[in-house]
Amino acid sequence: MTQSEFLEIVLPFKDKLYRLAKRLLVSSEEAEDATQEVLMKLWSGKKKILGYSNVEAFAMTMTRNFCLDRLKSRQAGNLKLVHSNFSDGGSTLQQQVEARDSLDWVSRIMNELPEQQRMVLQLKDVEAYDYSEIEKLMDMKPTAVRVTLSRARKAVREKLLEKHRYGIG
């Protein structure tokens, strides 16, 4: 496999790998490193890559496993918590602050979810994967994916309602 053939296969989902790594590791720098490591591993095994029925799903699984291993390692204590900033050139400063605050709240709430719920929510609502793809990636039954997603969405919704009610009612 040539470099251009490899890039043709991998480039369409490279950003998804990064976003998944960012969701798990939080730090942009760590997510970039993780994405680069996964891409290097894919390049190293480029002869086997065409044997996979879904290279994207395989790469997403590799990214997830790499990030989880990274978090479990001794280096996990050294990970920097750096949040990305949301910016929209056409909005006022107040709108930008409110949007950034909302993103931070959702991010915090998602980080409090159990790992499986967090991953399914990320894959479905952020990465826009189909249920069948999530089933394969997470090695879950169809019903389990739907229940996990439902519980994750409900938890996020309840926490957001609690925040916006300021604890009243």
Same domain, 14 and 68: yes
Q: What is the 3-state secondary structure (H, E, C) of the chain?
A: CCHHHHHHHHHHHHHHHHHHHHHHHCCHHHHHHHHHHHHHHHHHCCCCHHHCCCHHHHHHHHHHHHHHHHHHCHHHHHCCCCCCCCCCCCCCHHHHHHHHHHHHHHHHHHHHCCHHHHHHHHHHHHCCCCHHHHHHHHCCCHHHHHHHHHHHHHHHHHHHHHHHCCCCC
Closest C-alpha to 27, from 119, 138, 35, 123:
35
Cα–Cα dist 120/158, whole Å: 18
Query: Above pLDDT 90, what percent of the chain?
Result: 22
Predicted TM-score (pTM) of this structure = 0.53
Same domain, 98 and 40: no
Same domain, 20 and 54: yes
How confident is the model at residue 39, as a pLDDT? 92
What is the rounded average pLDDT of the residues 23-39?
88
Question: Tokens at residue 21, please?
Answer: 């790594």
How confident is the model at residue 67, as a pLDDT? 86
**CATH number of domain containing 94:** 1.10.10.10
User: Is the pLDDT reported for residue 23 higher than 90?
Assistant: no
**CATH number of domain containing 3:** 1.10.1740
pLDDT digits (tens, 9 = 90+) for 120-161: 988 888 888 889 989 988 899 999 999 999 999 999 888 878
Residue in the structure block whose two tokens are 């409110």: 98
Domain boundary (82, 112, 136) is at 82
CA distances 10 to 23, 36, 57, 89, Å, are 20, 12, 11, 31
Residue type, 51: G
Same domain, 64 and 100: no
Same domain, 64 and 7: yes
Domain boundary (43, 65, 82) is at 82
Q: Which domain holds residue 70?
A: 1-82
Domain boundary (63, 82, 101) is at 82
How confident is the model at residue 159, as a pLDDT? 85
Same domain, 123 and 61: no
Mean confidence (pLDDT) of the chain: 82
How confident is the model at residue 82, as a pLDDT? 41
Same domain, 94 and 151: yes
Same domain, 72 and 111: no
Same domain, 103 and 148: yes
Burial class (CB in 10 A: 0-12, 13-18, 19+), 115: exposed
How confident is the model at residue 84, as a pLDDT? 44
Same domain, 74 and 97: no
Same domain, 77 and 96: no
pLDDT digits (tens, 9 = 90+) for 33-92: 999 999 999 888 888 887 888 888 889 999 998 988 888 774 545 544 444 444 445 567
What is the rounded average pLDDT of the residues 91-116?
81
Provide the number of structural domains found in the chain.
Answer: 2
